[in-house]
Amino acid sequence: MPSKTALIRLMLAALLVSPATSSADDFRSPGDKRWWKGEWKEVYWDGPCQVKSESKRGEFKREIKCKDGIGADWRGEWKDEYWDGPCLVKQDVKRDEFKEEVKCERRHQ
């Protein structure tokens, strides 16, 4: 049978650990939202670039503007349109601007 001091130490350790686990934060970044669940809008700065994101049910838009192309993660200019599963993705990219639009069709089951 354990001694009283060992039991007291065990209970103190449990009391110290329990608040830490109950107040644990969600460590995902704000951009990691599930865009297909609800409506939201956000504007924030990612380094020297301004990012605008908007979501509506089944639709997502993101626009990134970097003044004079400084801080941009992409190179070149292009327009692209493709299907990713049930979603149509449109990209319009310039040297200092990246626009992406995703529209998803509802699947009938």
The pTM assigned to this predicted structure is 0.59
Q: What percent of the chain has pLDDT over 90?
A: 39
pLDDT digits (tens, 9 = 90+) for 43-96: 999 999 999 999 888 888 999 999 888 888 889 999 999 999 889 999 999 989
- Identify each DSSP E strand in the chain by its residue range: 40-46, 49-56, 59-66, 78-84, 87-94, 97-104
What would the two tokens of residue 57 be?
A: 């049910």
